[in-house]
Structure 1
Amino acid sequence: MKIQTALLFLMLCIGVYAQGHEWQAKRITAVEGQNESNSWFNFRTEKQLEIVPKKAVARIACDSKFWLWINGKMVVFEGQVKRGPTPHDTYYEEIDIAPFLKPGENCLAILLWYFGKDGFSHKSSGESGLVFQCDEIDLKSDENWTAELNKAYVHTGHLNPNYRLSESNIKFDARIGNFEWVLPGYKGKMPNAKVIAKAQDAPWNRLIKNPIPLWKDYGVREYENAADIPSVGSGEWIECKLPYNCHITPILDIDAPEGALIKMQTDNFDYMGLNVASVRAEYITKKGRQEYESLGWMNGHVVKYYIPEGVQIKALKYRETGFNTEFTGYFRCSNKFYERLWTKAARTLYVTMRDTYMDCPDRERAQWWGDAVNELGEAFYALCPNSATISKKGIVELINWQREDGVLYSPIPEGNWDKELPGQMLASVGYYGFWTYYINTGDRETIAGVYDGVRRYLDVWKLKPDGTLVERYGEWYWGDWGSDIDKQLLFNAWYYLALKGYRNMSELLGNQDEVRRVGNEMAAFKESFNKIFWDSNGYRTANYEGKYDDRAQALAVVSGLAERDKWDKLLGVFKTSHLASPYMEKYVLEALFMMNQPVYGLERMKKRYYKMVDVSPWSTLYENFGDGDDRVGHGTNNHAWSGGGLTILAQYVCGLEPVQAAWETFRVKPQLGTLSYAETGNKTIAGDVSVRIEQSKSEMIIKLKVPYESNAEVYIPNKYKTVKLNNQTIFDEKLLGEGVEYLGKQENSIVFKVGSGEHVFTTN
């Protein structure tokens, strides 16, 4: 019952991928439209209504983005996610527009931005256009709508965004156009729209409902240093500070002569060099008082405005938008460093979510699956349950884009990249990817939908006569950033984790033949792995000549390939090898906690992240750790994969981890190391879960909240002889109390099971 309720909630958040809607609407465009990249279009129609229905669901599709006004009020700020759900199809949005309608004449206006070029997160259809259908008010896009090419949007000169981005720079010439056309009573003339196809004709093909929510609009805000912004332009850049790294659209309120050129960009625009420039904006003024918002989002910690002399500045502001979720998770402890790490990791996670998970929001905006695996794991501890919709979207897309030869690749969606990174693909389909999504959501339907694709990809991999993997280089033989990467050893461990995830999926779906087959393969593979790669001091490939690779040793531990008798040797490797980038450091830290080494785990975490957390001025984490005393990091300063410490702090330091789907049962197995207290909690799909642990040399206190219909397995170190639950002694060398289930001794702990409610365990 618990899983069914949780899954129903998730499906209400996500919507249904398969649609039974009939589309009578036509795909329309402006007569002047030539499918040129970075084109903008105005669409407008009126609708007479005698009564307003209680609900009026508009289905809207476009390539690439749209903004919707009804009766002069903004209804949707940047609708549509990037193409596509498959290599051929297109998403559409569903919006209830009833609250914005009125009896009498209603004016609907839509501004459309056609990217017209491919990128690492978008595949252009090659055809701009709009589809609109609202059955409740009998309104459909057709030749009776009006449409025009918005000629006020023009092209900037050099410097343009790098080839990874499908977005272009935005330049608006206020001498040519304005936004009066979105208002009721507009007197201008717009030509009738041109019908170019039926809604689901090629090249858009099937229209599939966008499974993630519309963006959260935080509203228009003032900059942190608003009081210091000058009242007149000087021909110098004005730096306006944001409270943290976020997605923003810059806003102007000025009084200007005609023809002044204003430039807008963030501090992240070109901080890495000319070959990776991000997006920027320009505005040419009309004469007099004017307000303008550049609608394409950019990100950074500072928004920079170049305003010429003679332009009066009334106000410079910004609008923050982002993925529609909440920061419901938290972590607190007796050492502020780890709290700051959590906060920066959560901000990094959020700024790398929008149309898809992405590696970074400026250089690429690309859904690399190595990053996505780390991100989806963090989201279940930091964000509210609807953040799972972006994980589901990514999982379904990855399999939908599978090549005919069974190979998976990322980033997807894409229009100018098709290269497999074998290690990242194994990570995506395996235990830390698809299975982590399932264990947190209970979404069996999605796992069933992608199951055959996972099997097809695993079938691509073959074994040598010695039982280990045949080398597969893919199109990019990549294991991690950095040096001394024992790639073949890494891929063998990733393959075992992929088998582990697939075996779990097979068991979930009742495919017992596959459970037995894969279980036997895993046992044989584990034996071969240890025979071929272990050399008495650590794991290494025979032809690998570098240091013992801490990344590969970590995967051997977390996958279960390395037995306990090897842990002492591996601990020595972890204390001397610091090769992992932030991408793989998460697994190194996880291995240390799985080896019951919380003291060194916390020590290493602080040593590796210290510069990013306490030296870097930024609110987010860098792509790489950096070298030397003066380098706090390098690469992008907001990189998704760097937040793995967030997961470790919740899952291992506080010990909070689901063991049955949808948090029906979860584990509380804290490892505080040198901390005197730590606490974490979040709104899971089952309800609110929280735990606070206090420890001293002589006692431990665990305060726990378990949601309705859930259970918790609580691990108490067996050095404590007496255990009380809510002030009643339940254990004193043996089980005494009632209302609690004793699960026996496991490793160095005694384990109890409790049901829903608030519980306080005390020991001495």
Structure 2
Amino acid sequence: MKPSWEEEAKWIWAPDWKPEDEAGVGRFVYFRKTVNLGEGDHSCIVRVSADSRYLLFVNGKAVSRGPCKGDRFAWYYETVEVGDLLVEGTNVFAVQVLRYPYAGGGNESVWRTPLPGLYVHADIRDEKGALIATAHTDESWHCARDESIGLSQGVYTQFLGITETVDGAKRPFGWESASFDAGRWSEVVAYTFDILHGGLKPWVLTDRPIPVLYETWRRFNKASRLRNDEAAWQQLLESDRRLVIPSGSSVLIDLDAGELTTGYIQLRMSGGKGTVVKLLCAECYENEPISVPWLRDKGDRTDNVNGDLYGDADEYKAAGAGTAVSESFEDYEPFWFRTFRYVRLEIKTGDESLTLHRCAYRETGYPLNVAAEYRSSDPQESALWEISVRTLRRCMHETYEDCPYYEQLQYAMDTRSQILFTYYLAGDDRLARRTFYDFHSSMLPQGLTQSRYPSVSAQVIPGFSLYWIFMLHDHMMFAGDRELIERYLPGVDAVLGYFHRMRDGSGLVGPMDASHWSFVDWAHRWKESYGVPGAAKRGPLTVNSLMYAYALQQAADLASFAGRSGLASEYVERAEQIRQAVKTRCMSGIRRGCLTDGPGIEEYSQHSQIWAVLVGVLEGEDARHAMGTAINDSSFVPCSFAMAFYLFRALSAVGMYDRVNGMLEPWRKMSADGLTTWMEDTVSQRSDAHAWGSVPIYEYAAETLGVRPVAPGYGEIEIRPFIGHLQHAKGRIMTAKGAVDVAWRCMDGRFHLSAAWPADVPCTVSLPDGQSVRIENEGKYDVEIELPQPAAPGRE
């Protein structure tokens, strides 16, 4: 249902817009509307959207960015109250709009329609609530095309199209303020649409589903690579103490934020007409890339002696518009946020000296309220926890992201894990809910979801559609929202229907369409095939059948929860058929009790064993044997960070979770190498921020502390702590029902546990000696037991 107010404003744009105006990567247009008001207090709710991105100002103050990433059928708008910014006299509503080309280019994750446009709905009311004026977009607005900013696709950030080259002398300084002379600006044109017969506008306005991103001022920690003036630069960074760069100078300086972050960098300057400033943002110091940007050679990320910074550079040519005496500054801030730990500033002054007054940034991201805590007797675990939390934060903006530096795209495999981590850290499912909708919206006619979405170009990784089903199952257990599951169950059936139709004569899921990417994992031995097991060249992949069977089992739970018992039974039956087909066709004739990567193909990976355990093809001692072989036999292709979550789940399922601590050694090495967020993989070493690596969050919350839901909506909780190599651990994790606190310690052969959780939730506590205690209507438990004696050598 469209909003009741939608027709009160019009979509507008610049006149005489031609196809050649959209050549290149993108172009900016400025819009203004003035409103005269009398004295008194005012209220004003503004609803605003644009195609493709906007920045809204009211009387010179930036008040809203957007629109939130959506697509053709969910074009989001933001709502903001700006009454406290309105004044007696002239008021200015001003919007900077970035239009990305409809034909392609620019930010891959930002949708665009055939028409550029701006929409503003603004009712201005007096203190009694009476409507006294409007600032709706219509023919009374004026606009001007930007002639100062050029955008390029970039070499490193080629998915984003955000690299700027700016001629400050052409900027319309003060365009967003009341004192600006807009006499030469053009009158806008307004669109008209026939919507009386079921036709849709290009933009289906939809209320933003998530909170606005936070913006918080931060300072760089330190500067390096300077030959002189180190003290002066440090004072500028620490306290905005002005720094003068003489005319005819050339300065190169590297700034360190202390951790990888995302934010809007701002340079505040005066004088220095003709000065050229280059801003290069980088995740780390590294050796020269092997292949730009894909293959990298990285070690100690902080080594600025043997390493260098690589990335796309923004370039700003100063207008000399600011004056230090009157504190009228010339600010430069790129339109889109940047990702960086290090920023290289290269400054070349001309005939005038340049004065810098500020060099700082506003950190931005999804407002994740982390309420969870964790610490243990192993001090390294605190570092792994903190880096995991930071990595997750950096990969959350308007969607979950694979990486903030290179792509900013929401991929299903990454996102399934990120959502789980978010639940444990914050009990927040708002971004998750929009993610479910995103992938549902991406569905293709054959029944598959796209692998990444929103995305202006479609990509299909068939297995990623199954991760969408896993997400929904996770949410059922977290929130118990039956209405949500009922809504998406037809989509679940469509995905499963695709895999059902792909079965071959033996009952296995057959080879995937050659036009699709059958990615499984970034394993080293699958490097040349871009993460696709070698067995795919000769037939079906075992892992596809196993993941499909696992999705069927989870879908059966979803259907039962939604009251669709017949559908649940059908899914269970299908899953069993697949399981039997795998047992018949995919067991190795050489590696006893293990599965091959394809029927009749004696190639092996940890992946096939993992999913065989998770789906129940291998059970008991057979499962333990297969997992033991998979992690000890070097002929089995090992998992990368992407699949580690599932490896650890399989080891937990077969009672071999004690091996996980050793398998976290790559995370400890990353920490030792100076990473402040987790890298994507060890194959390409491209991205240094990929939140599928934040798996320690889950391990410490769900395994070490042992907190898991055992009924939908956390209707019942299990606490089953894992001791392993630790002497003590304690923490707080979040659920949909509230916080759960767990603390345990081992001392003098005894185990003490103290736990608290929401009183109305039943909880089963499982202890190391095999006892299980169910507690109802109390919400707390405290116990001390004697630890079982370790088994004699040679015995299990």
Give the TM-score taking structure 1 as reference length: 0.85
Which residue identity lines up with residue 297 of structure 1 in the other structure? F
1:578-597 alignment, distance < 5 Å: 579-597=638-656
Q: 1:345 aligns with which of 381, 384, 388?
A: 388
1:696-719 per-position Cα deviation (integer Å, ceiling 9, x unaligned): 4622222222125333221122x3
1:284, distance to aligned residue in structure 2 (A): 1.1
Residue number in structure 2 paired with 1:609: 667
What is the match of residue 175 of structure 2?
A: 181
Pick the aligned partner of 1:106 from 91, 98, 102. 91
What is residue 561 of structure 2 aligned with on the other side?
A: 508
Secondary structure of the residue that 1:505 maps to in structure 2? helix
Is 2:618 the counterpart of 1:618? no
Give 1:65 deviation, angstroms.
Answer: 1.9
Q: 1:497 aligns with which of 537, 545, 550?
A: 550
Question: How many angstroms does 1:580 deviate by?
Answer: 0.6
Match of 1:527 in 2: 580
Instruction: Report the counterpart of residue 466 of structure 1 in structure 2.
Output: 506
Distance verdict in 2 for CA 1:131–1:427, change over 3 Å: same
- 1:232 maps to what in 2? 245
**Structure 2 unaligned spans of 5+:** 126-133, 224-232, 238-242, 295-309, 324-329, 527-532, 787-796
Match of 2:765, SS state, is: strand
Distance 1:259 1:32 in 2: 33
Partner of 1:259: 274
Residue type of the alignment partner of 1:558: L
Letter in 1 for 2:572: G
How many angstroms does 1:63 deviate by? 1.5
Query: How far 1:573 sits from its partner (Å)?
Result: 2.0
Given residue 564 of structure 1, which amino acid in structure 2 is its aligned partner?
A: G
C-alpha separation between the residues in 2 aligned to 1:415 and 1:351? 23
Aligned pairs for 1:223-372 within 5 A = 223-225=221-223, 227=234, 231-232=244-245, 234-268=249-283, 273-275=291-293, 280-287=313-320, 288-289=322-323, 290-309=330-349, 310-372=353-415
- Is the CA contact 2:267–2:359 (under 8 Å) kept in the aligned structure 1? yes
Asked if 1:26 is matched to 2:14, the reply is: no
Establish whether residue 81 from structure 1 lines up as the match of residue 65 from structure 2. no
**Secondary structure in 2 matching 1:307:** strand
Instruction: Map 1:416-455; keep pairs closer than 5 Å.
Output: 416=457, 418-430=458-470, 433-455=471-493
Q: Which moved more, 1:220-229 or 1:389-398?
A: 220-229
1:168 matched to 2:162: yes
Distance in 2 separating the partners of 1:544 and 1:339: 46
Q: Name 1:737's counterpart in structure 2.
A: none
Amino acid at match of 2:159: R
Letter in 1 for 2:336: G
The separation in 2 between residues aligned to 1:18 and 1:141, in whole angstroms, is 18
Q: CA deviation at 1:130?
A: 0.6
Alignment match, 2:612? 556
> How far apart, in 2, do the equivalents of 1:18 and 1:659 lie?
40
Q: CA deviation at 1:545?
A: 5.1
Tell me which of 129, 137, 143 is aligned to 1:141. 137
* Conserved 8 A contact 2:764-2:772: no
> What's the CA shift for 1:270?
11
Deviations 1:645-682 (A, max 9, x none): 32122111211112233333221111121111122323
Q: What residue is the counterpart of 2:129 in the other structure?
A: none
- Contact conserved, 2:154 with 2:312, CA < 8 A, in 1? no
Instruction: Give the Cα–Cα distance (whole angstroms) in 1 for the partners of residues 115 and 575 of structure 2.
Output: 48
2:130 maps to what in 1?
A: none
What is the alpha-carbon distance in structure 1 between the residues aligned to residue 355 and residue 76 of structure 2? 43
Whole-Å separation in 2 of the counterparts to 1:294 and 1:405: 41
CA 494–103 in structure 1, closer or farther in 2 if over 3 Å, else same: farther
State the secondary structure of the residue aligned to 1:94. Answer: strand
Comparing 239-248 with 657-666, greater Cα deviation is found at: 657-666
- Whether the 8 Å CA contact 2:596–2:602 is kept in 1: the answer is no
What SS is found at the alignment partner of 1:649?
helix
How many Å apart are 1:469 and its aligned residue? Answer: 2.0
Q: Deviation per CA, 1:441-497, whole angstroms, max 9, x where unpaired? A: 233333222211110111111334433322324611211112263661211121012
User: Contact (CA 8 Å) 1:423, 1:490: kept in 2 or not?
Assistant: no
Give CA deviations for 1:501-536 in whole Å, capped at 9, x if unaligned. 211111121111101211222233333333333343
Partner SS state of residue 262, structure 1: strand
**1:703 is aligned to 2:743:** no
Aligned residues: 701
Which position in structure 1 is the counterpart of 2:794? none
Q: Tell me the percent identity.
A: 19
Identify the residue that residue 206 of structure 1 maps to in structure 2: 204
In the alignment, the residues of structure 2 paired with residue 194 and residue 161 of structure 1 have an alpha-carbon distance, to the nearest angstrom, of 37
1:665 matched residue in structure 2: 716
Shift of 1:180: 0.9
- Aligned residue for 2:436? 395
Name the CA distance, whole Å, in 1 between partners of 2:30 and 2:203.
23
Aligned pair 1:404/2:445, yes or no? yes
Give the counterpart letter for 2:550 in structure 1. Answer: L
The reply to whether residue 540 of structure 1 matches residue 540 of structure 2 is no
2:790 maps to what in 1?
none
Evaluate the alpha carbon distance shift between residue 196 and residue 649 of structure 1 in structure 2; reply closer, same or farther with a 3 A threshold. same
Segment of structure 1 superposing worse, 707-716 or 498-507: 707-716
1:71 paired residue among 39, 59, 67: 59
Match of 1:193 in 2: 188
CA distance in structure 1 between the partners assigned to 2:607 and 2:431 by the alignment: 27
| 1:755 shift after superposition | 3.5
Residue 30 of structure 2 aligns with an amino acid whose one-letter code is: N
Report the Cα offset of residue 424 of structure 1.
Answer: 1.8
Select between 55-64 and 293-302 the one with higher mean Cα deviation: 55-64
| TM value normalised by structure 2 | 0.82
Partner Cα separation in structure 2 for residue 448 and residue 98 of structure 1: 41
Deviation at 1:88, TM superposition (A): 4.9
- Distance in 2 (CA, whole Å) between partners of 1:49 and 1:443 is 47
- Using the alignment, how far apart are the partners of 2:616 and 2:37 within structure 1? 65
Structure 2 CA distance for aligned equivalents of residues 555 and 115 of structure 1: 42
